[in-house]
A and B are shown apart, each in its own frame.
Chain A
Amino acid sequence: MGKLTIGCFASLVGSTNLDFAIKLAGAAMEKGHKVDLWVSGNGTMISIKDQRPFKDYSSLEKPLKELMAKGLNVTACEACAESRGYHHDNTLEGVKRFSMDWYLGSCFDADRVFHIGGE
């Protein structure tokens, strides 16, 4: 088994890149791989806790928590989060916040790197 690093640079509301990243992370973990997930830009919104799930709206807090409980390693870009008003006190428990160095370090010893989004 190997290590997969996923970097998700999600776009605005309606972009399903974050959903894709979470599903791929889950599928990779199911196959026995270790997964690091880095979120940047608007992707940092996934790090906010207590988001209200609406029926026809993408809500990733629950699947994210489930994957983190199984070992998904999630880090949000601190600068991107802070610039959007996402601070420590409203960050989902278990989601770390670091600078981009963390993402580069994760890529360095990954078997596969997958950089999603950026549009």
Chain B
Amino acid sequence: MKLVAFVSDYKMTVDTLDRLKPEKLGIILVQNGVYHATTKEKGKPSSLLNYSADYYVLQEDLETRGLSGANVIDSKVKVIKFGDIVDLMFNEYDKTAWL
């Protein structure tokens, strides 16, 4: 199963991801979840960035929070738009999850 998980909040309690074992995992950071891509706590980036997954962050949700691609602290997180989300859902993954 190829799963793309949408993380929509900046809570550290995303142990759901620990329990997911897809053959391919994508993580798309949306809404307040974008802070996982831009924020360090005690000098360390979010633990959510430690999974073996392809990472994406929604540009529009960065911008509504006064952020941009320049604020993304890990280059493996790709900045995308809604149209890219549609392409990822249809072409790269077959299941979705909203966390």
Prevailing SS type, chain A contact patch: mixed
How many contacts between A and B, using CB within 8 angstroms?
A: 45
Also in contact, A23 and B94, with CB within 8 A (given A16-B31, A31-B86): no
Cβ-defined contact, A4 with B31, below 8 A: no
Cβ-defined contact, A114 with B31, below 8 A: no
B: interface residue count bin? 10 to 19
Binding site for B on A (CB under 8 A): 2, 4, 16-17, 20, 23-24, 26-28, 30-31, 33, 111-119
Binding site for A on B (CB under 8 A): 6, 8-9, 30-31, 60, 81-83, 85-87, 89-90, 94, 96, 98
Q: Within the complex, which residue of A30, A31, A112 is in contact with B96, where a contact is CB–CB below 8 Å?
A: A112
Q: Closest CB-CB distance, A18 to chain B, in whole Å? A: 12
Q: How far is the CA of A117 from the CA of B6 in the complex (A)?
A: 10
Also in contact, A31 and B98, with CB within 8 A (given A111-B90, A114-B89): no
Chain A to chain B contacts (Cβ below 8 Å), 28 pairs? A4-B89, A17-B31, A20-B30, A20-B31, A23-B60, A24-B85, A26-B82, A27-B82, A27-B83, A27-B85, A28-B86, A30-B83, A31-B86, A31-B87, A31-B90, A33-B86, A111-B90, A112-B89, A112-B90, A113-B96, A114-B96, A115-B96, A115-B98, A116-B6, A116-B98, A117-B98, A118-B98, A119-B9
